[in-house]
Amino acid sequence: MRVTKWDRIYLFMFAATALAVVGFIVLLVAPTLEVINLETGEISHRTLLSNGQSGLLLLYLLPIFLAGSALLASPRRNQPDKASKINIWLSLAALYLFIGLQIQYAGIVYVPAVIMMTAAAVGSMVSRKGRQGFASSETGSKSGRGGGKRRRNKG
């Protein structure tokens, strides 16, 4: 089995998108609404689907859209460029705003997605350079084969 090698930023963004989808599914199937019958005093719990709250369902698709747009903007096998980093940071800010506004209702289910997006955003700011130096060449370390300290030509 061959495993494809993804960049760490893309991996975090993929995890954030997957967690946003899982959060949306939890909102669909978990009973989040409490309906009280005033005549009998009976309390019933309903899901968003059974209550017909299509406006809320569309609103709760927003985190999936934001995480997915940042996922599509970041390259799969390379480091993200400036446009990808800006997209990740703007999507992260919008998700923080969404959770801040919806935390009393259902924003808490998207917190794991935001944690993964934060890891991707912070990781995109860390500079990574290719292999440098003598010891990190493709053949590995040269110790024991005359590849030690080089002398300066003191003429």
Domain assignments of the chain as residue spans, ordered by start:
8-125
pLDDT of residue 64: 94
pLDDT of residue 134: 46
- Distance, CA of 77 to CA of 88 (rounded, Å): 16
Long-range pairs for 80-84: beta carbons < 8 A, 24 or more residues apart: 80/7, 80/9, 80/124, 84/9, 84/124
- Residue-wise pLDDT for 17-35, tens only, equals 999 999 999 888 888 777 8
- Residue-wise pLDDT for 67-123, tens only, equals 999 889 888 887 878 888 888 899 999 999 999 998 888 878 899 999 999 998 898
Q: How far apart are the first and last CA of the chain?
A: 58
* pLDDT above 70: residue 14: yes
